[in-house]
A and B are shown apart, each in its own frame.
Chain A
Amino acid sequence: MEWGGEVIEFHLDARSGVAPYMQLIRQVRHALRLGVLNEGDKLPTVKEVVARVAINPNTVSKAYRELEYEGLVTARPGLGTFVTRTLGGDSLSKHEPLRQGLARWLTEAREAGLDDESIEALFLSSFRAFSEARG
C-alpha cells in the first residue's frame, strides 16, 4: 500500500516508553529538520494515518493539535493539515561548534576514567533532569 501523494509516513515504536502522540510529533519535527517536509506540504489525514499505522485517531489529532499550537502546521477545515514553518535552517549551522564542545567534554570524561557506559548514563540522566526541569 502506498501513501497518497507526497506525504511522510509515520511509524510507532511500541517499546520506547514514549507516548504515541509524542512519537508522531517527533517524527514531524524530524522531517522538518531534515527538510523532508517543507512549508506548504500536507500531512496525511487522520483517517489515512490510522488506517495505515493501526493507531488511535485521538492520538493523531492530539499530535496535530500540539504541532499547530507550536506554530509548525495549520489545519484548514475540509482540506487538511499543512506545514507552515520549517525547522533547522539556522540551527543547523550551530551544530558544528556544539559537536566540538561535546567532543571536548567526552575527552575530559574519558580522561577522568569514565568508560562508555558511564558516559552514556551520565549524559542521559543529566539530559533527562535538564529537560524535565524545563518542562
Chain B
Amino acid sequence: MTSALIADALTKRYGRRSALKDCTLDIPAGHVVGLVGPNGAGKSTLLQLACGLLDPTAGRIEVLGARPVSGSPRVGFVAQDTPVYAGLTVADHLRMGAHLNPSWDAVLAERRIAQVGLDPAQKAGKLSGGQRAQLALTVAAAKRPHLLLLDEPVAALDPLARRNFLQGLMELTAEQGMSIVMSSHLVADLERVCDHLIVLVASRVRVAGDVDDLLATHHRLVGRRRDTADLGAGRALVEQSHTEVQSTLVVRSTAPIVDPSWQVDRLDLEDIVLAYMSGATGDGPDRVLEGQR
C-alpha cells in the first residue's frame, strides 16, 4: 500500500503554543480518507502543512512521496470556508486556474460549472455558500491533482448544498481516481463518502482504519457491573462507564461476542468516533462536548 501522506513526529509551534505536537500517521493512497477529532486536535494545521502553506517546526512530513511544496500541481487544497476571490467572476477563476496550472483541465472545469448551474459572468462575492464551495472544488479538481485535501468543506453549508457538494466530490473521485483527505465534524457525511477514517485527538491517532472494518469490529456491551480487566484475547476496551449495578463498554473485537451475559449492540460510525474521543486520556466529558461543537 502506498501512502498519500506520512507524518513522523510532526510538530508545529506558534511561539510557545503547539498547534500540532509529535503527530505520527500514515494515510493510504487511493482512498477517500476522513479526518475527525475535537477542535484543536491539529487537523487544519496538519492539512496546511501537507499542502506546503506551513512549514513544520520539527519532525517530518511527506506527501505523495516528497516534501510538500506550496502550489504543487499534484496536490489540490480547499481551505476552510472555501475562500474565493470576491471581486472576480466565475469565468475569471477558471482563467486564473488555467494560467497558474500547467495540468489544468479546461473541459472538466467548464463542464462542472455548467453542471452545478453557475453563471460564468457572476462575481464570486455574490455567490451563495453552496455555489462558492462548488467553485472552489471545481478550481481544485481541474488541476487534476493526485491528492485533494479539504478542510471542513461542508461545515457552513445547508443540508441540500452539502449533499450536492458531496455528490460532486464523489463523481470526481469516481472519474479521476484521486486520493482525498477531508476533515469534518459531520461524521454522518464521512460515513457515506469515506472508506477510511482517522480519529485524531491531541495530535495523536486514536484509531485509523477502513470504515467497513471499524463498523464490523466495534460493539457496545451492556450488562451487570463487572471488572473489565480480562475481556479476553483479541478484545480491546475503547470506552467504559459504570453505575453501581451496570457496566457499559465499547469494545473492539474481530471475533463476534457471543457471551449471553452481555447485551451486544452495533455502533454507527459517530458512536465509534465519540467513544474514541471520550475514551482518550481521562478528561472524557469535556472532549466529547468539544468534539460535538
Contacts and interface: CB of A to CB of B under 8 A. Distances in A.
Contacts of B267: 17
Interface string B171-183: 1011100000000
A47 B258 CA distance: 40
A57 B173 contact: yes
Nearest to A47: B174
Given A17-B268, A47-B175, A55 B188 contact: no
A52 B215 contact: no
B166 A54 contact: yes
B255 to A, nearest CB: 9
A57 B173 CA distance: 7
Given A50-B171, A50-B174, A57-B174, A128 B264 contact: yes
Contact of B32 (A14, A53, A58): A58
Interface core residue of A14, A16, A128 (most chain B CB under 10 Å): A14
Q: Determine the interface band of chain B, counting residues with CB < 8 A from chain A.
A: 20 to 34
B263 to A, nearest CB: 8
A107 B263 CA distance: 25
Nearest to B268: A17
- The B interface is mostly helix, strand or loop, or mixed, namely helix
Contacts of B169: 54
A21 B215 CA distance: 11
A94 interface: no
A19 B173 contact: no
A61 to B, nearest CB: 9
B192 A132 contact: no
Contacts of A52: 167
A14 B191 contact: yes
Contact of A16 (B193, B263, B268): B268
Interface string B250-264: 000000101010011
B266 A12 contact: no
Contacts of B260: 125
Nearest to A62: B212
Interface string B141-182: 000000000000000000000010011111101110000000
A46 B263 CA distance: 38
B50 to A, nearest CB: 21
Given A19-B212, A19-B215, A51-B171, A56 B268 contact: no
A55 B193 contact: yes
A106 B134 CA distance: 54
B198 interface: no
Interface in B260-280: 260, 263-268
Contacts of A132: 256, 258
